[in-house]
Amino acid sequence: MLFLSVLLFYEPKSIKKTAERYESMFAPRTLYWGVQGEDVRILQDKLLRWGYYDGAVDGIFGARTYRAVRKFQAKNGLQVDGIVGPATARALGMPEAYATAANSTVNRQTDEYLLARLIHGEARGEPYVGKVAVAAVVLNRVKHPSFPNTIAGVIYQPLAFTAVADGQINLTPNKDSIKAARDALNGWDPTYGCLYYWNPATATSKWIWSRKVMLKIGKHWFGI
Amino acid sequence: MKDRKYLIAPSILAILLVAALVWGYNQYQTKKQREIALENYYQSLFFDIKKHIENIQVNLSKVMVANTKERNILLLSQISNEAISAHTKLGQMPLTHAEIANTEKFLNQAADYSTYLIQKHLQGEELTEEQRQALSNIQNNSVKFNEELTNIQNSLAEGNFFLGSLTASARNRVKEANENILQTSLVQLDEQFAKTPELIYDGPFADQMINRKPVGLPENEVTAEEARKIAAEFLGNVNIINIEQFEEGEHINEARIPAYTFNVYVDKQRNSPIYMGVSKKGGKVVWMNNPRPVGTTKLSVKNAEERALKFLQEKGFENMEPNYYLKYDGTILFNFVNTENKVTIYPDLVKVKVALDTGEIVGFDASAYYLNHHDRKIDEPHLTEAEARSKVRQDFNIDSIRLAIIPKGKNEVLCYEFKGKYNGSDFIVYINALDGSEEEILQLIKNENGTLTF
């Protein structure tokens, strides 16, 4: 009996958390009581200027923000629920991520963020140029026939990056990693076209040493 | 009473044991479910790849038989699609890059080559003898590929190995049971692909495109010492504490632009160096980047642009014209392109990044310029502006027209550039100024931080 009841109520692992995190990464967020961030700051700023909000612009969605959103929704004929979904965001004129017009959904943000996560997982201890170099290798691979043709394809190619294999890619990237991703996407390639890099202290594959070695940036050797 | 006390410890242990068993059983079930899900996914990828390769093989034999360009275009576009699908799926299989590099290249170039032939057909050209030979090589390769896949399929059918068990942790367990049939046979295949002759054509994945060398650098070689001086001079009026050269490998001369790379430590920012690359040939600064933190914005876009232009003039870049900018992280990045006789030359691109707090130049990248810049003989356009205009949609609202040279594969073409709006979005349409064909359409995505082209 005990055995059965434990079996019935035991749930191996909650995947809800991960789903939530992915949503906040890739989709424009829905704002509600309790969330924090730059987007909340923008929301508060707008509500403050239009006289719905009288609290601090601190990026935290609290009671005052909630009441202000409800007031705004009531005034503008929206569903009064205190939640900033797509309709309310549009009425507020929230920035690009919320806009649904056909051409403004094309942007580089997903590439940027994915690349920043890889940099953070693979090279967060490296000097700045070493971070950009790792991102440049990904972009050089995208353009090379022997590799997948998209950034995600290259990054998630099985056994290509250790940070992807051990899950470190899912850490939240810091400011430097995001900045490095942008510099790489804007064309800076400190590796002069390299396709591989390895850390001589930890590289186990014999094959990688048969590559043509170009230069050393931080702890990594780069080559083709 | 005494007897009951005696029972407490064993019963707690019994409960713990049951709990541990339940937990363990659950773990085992979860693991098994995941293994099955993964195996199913790999199996579907595998069978898909096999189907794609079969289709490539069949369509290629049809191309050999087909007699009209129209039929060929349809077949080639199918081949291109199938090859891209096979390539994408192969890249998701649990195989290392070293095992399938040439196979991936084969699929990518098969797709790219088909697209190239479609373009040739659309320009009215027939297949040449060399092109037919190249297609027949691709076909031979796809036949070999298919044979190997059939072997693997047979082994799968016998049920003595699993694709999912090729992932890292399970690898050792499986090793003695079967010598990784998938890997061994695909590695052999990969070696065969490496031996097939290079495809000669013009497309983004062609070998000639990948192995391009800079044409815009002077011929003289500079030493590391001279390069240090060039780097120091480039930064101008700053107090340099130390210049450190990056360690080089033995094949540095095979890099796209062989160069010396430096960390330059300057007085006002002791902890974060300025990075620079100086080309070995010609001793030109290829790129410079100063990733210092940037304070509050004080400069307008206009001010920053003036600073960037002045900087380019000082460095000897004349006739540069600002095109687009992008604001990020407190800086603004301008794309400058060369102009000659009022023709905008897009391949000669130089990027300049200005810090919006002090107006200091914190980034410079002329690698595209040195890769492409050469003395050009610019043709006189065969079409007048009005003739070119008639090739663009009538309801396209044009804001500006000018002549421009744009890259096309390895080559460059002279075009009329029509900037304007269609349906509320911004576009640039390029019409070939010599033969009137529509060479390129770009969409501009503008926001408050600048413009991106797609």
DSSP string, B75-92: HHHHHHHHHHHHHHHHTT
Nearest of B440, B421, B437 to residue B429 by alpha carbon: B440
Phi, psi of A77 (to 5 degrees): 65, 30
Nearest-angstrom CA–CA distance, B76 and B413: 25
Question: How far, rounded to the nearest angstrom, does the alpha carbon of residue A22 sit from its chain's CA centroid?
Answer: 8
Q: Which of B26, B92, B255 sits opposite A193 (nearest CB)?
A: B255
Nearest residue of B to residue A188, measured between CA atoms: B365
ipTM: 0.89
Single-letter code of the amino acid located at B392? V
* Tens-place pLDDT, residues B264-303: 999 888 888 999 999 999 999 999 999 998 888 889 999 9
pLDDT of residue A20: 46
Nearest residue of A to residue B29, measured between CA atoms: A12
> Global pTM?
0.81
User: Which of A:50-89 have CB within 8 Å of B?
Assistant: none
Q: Which of A6, A148, A217 sits opposite B91 (nearest CB)?
A: A148
Nearest residue of B to residue A195, measured between CA atoms: B255
The verdict on B96 touching A (C-beta cutoff 8 Å) is yes
Asked if B89 and A157 count as a contact pair (C-beta separation under 8 A), the reply is: no
Nearest residue of B to residue A180, measured between CA atoms: B291
- Burial code (b: 16+ CB inside 10 Å, e: under 16) for A39-78 equals bbebbbebbbeeebbeeebebbbeebbbbbbbbbbeeeeb
pLDDT of residue A99: 35
Query: CB within 8 A of B312, min separation 6: which ones?
Result: B320, B336, B350, B352
The per-residue DSSP string of B204-221 comes to TT-HHHHT---SSS-S-B
Q: Which residues from chain B sit within 8 angstroms of residue A148, using beta carbons?
A: 87-88, 91, 104
pLDDT of residue B303: 93
pLDDT of residue A24: 43
Sheet holding A220-223, edge to edge: A196-198, A220-223, A213-217
Give which of A215, A217, A219, A224 to mutate to test B binding, by max B Cβ within 10 Å.
Answer: A215
Give which of B261, B288, B446, B451 to mutate to test A binding, by max A Cβ within 10 Å.
Answer: B261
Shortest distance, CA B276 to any CA of chain A (angstroms): 9
Q: Which residues from chain B sit within 8 angstroms of residue A104, using beta carbons?
A: 445, 447
List chain B pLDDT tens, one digit each, 454 residues.
Answer: 556 788 888 899 999 999 999 999 999 999 989 888 888 898 899 999 999 999 999 999 999 888 888 999 999 999 999 999 999 999 988 888 888 888 999 999 999 999 999 999 998 888 898 999 999 989 988 998 888 888 888 877 776 666 765 555 555 554 444 456 667 777 778 888 888 778 888 888 888 888 888 999 999 999 999 999 999 999 988 888 899 999 999 899 889 999 999 999 998 888 889 999 999 999 999 999 999 988 888 899 999 999 999 999 999 998 999 988 988 888 999 999 999 989 999 999 999 999 999 999 999 999 999 999 999 989 899 999 999 999 988 888 999 999 999 998 888 999 999 999 988 888 999 999 999 999 999 988 887 777 777 7
* Tens-place pLDDT, residues A144-201: 999 999 999 999 998 889 899 888 998 888 888 989 999 999 999 999 999 999 998 8
Question: How far, rounded to the nearest angstrom, does the alpha carbon of residue B312 sit from its chain's CA centroid?
Answer: 28
Nearest of A187, A105, A143, A109 to residue B324 by alpha carbon: A187
| Number of C-beta neighbours around residue B438 at 10 A | 12
The verdict on B28 touching A (C-beta cutoff 8 Å) is no
pLDDT of residue B177: 44
Q: Which residues from chain B sit within 8 angstroms of residue A158, using beta carbons?
A: 92-96, 167
Query: 3-state class of A30 per DSSP?
Result: coil
| Number of C-beta neighbours around residue A130 at 10 A | 22
At residue A27, does pLDDT exceed 50? no
Question: How far, rounded to the nearest angstrom, does the alpha carbon of residue A23 sit from its chain's CA centroid?
Answer: 10
* Tens-place pLDDT, residues A82-110: 878 777 887 887 754 433 333 445 667 78
Asked if B243 and B232 count as a contact pair (C-beta separation under 8 A), the reply is: yes
The per-residue DSSP string of B374-389 comes to ----PPPPSS-HHHHH
* Tens-place pLDDT, residues A197-207: 999 888 777 77
Nearest-angstrom CA–CA distance, A118 and A154: 11
pLDDT of residue A21: 47
Asked if B267 and B238 count as a contact pair (C-beta separation under 8 A), the reply is: yes
* Tens-place pLDDT, residues B304-331: 999 999 999 999 998 999 988 988 888 9
Single-letter code of the amino acid located at B191? E
User: Which of B:163-182 have CB within 8 Å of A?
Assistant: 167-168
How would you classify the pairing of strands B438-447 and B425-432?
A: antiparallel
Asked if B362 and B355 count as a contact pair (C-beta separation under 8 A), the reply is: yes
Lowest mean pLDDT among A15-19, A55-59, B259-263: A15-19
User: Which of B:264-303 have CB within 8 Å of A?
Assistant: 272-273, 275, 277, 287, 289, 291
Tally A–B CB contacts below 8 A: 159
Pairwise CB contact (< 8 Å): B167 & A158: yes
Nearest residue of A to residue B325, measured between CA atoms: A186
Nearest of B349, B402, B346, B340 to residue B377 by alpha carbon: B340
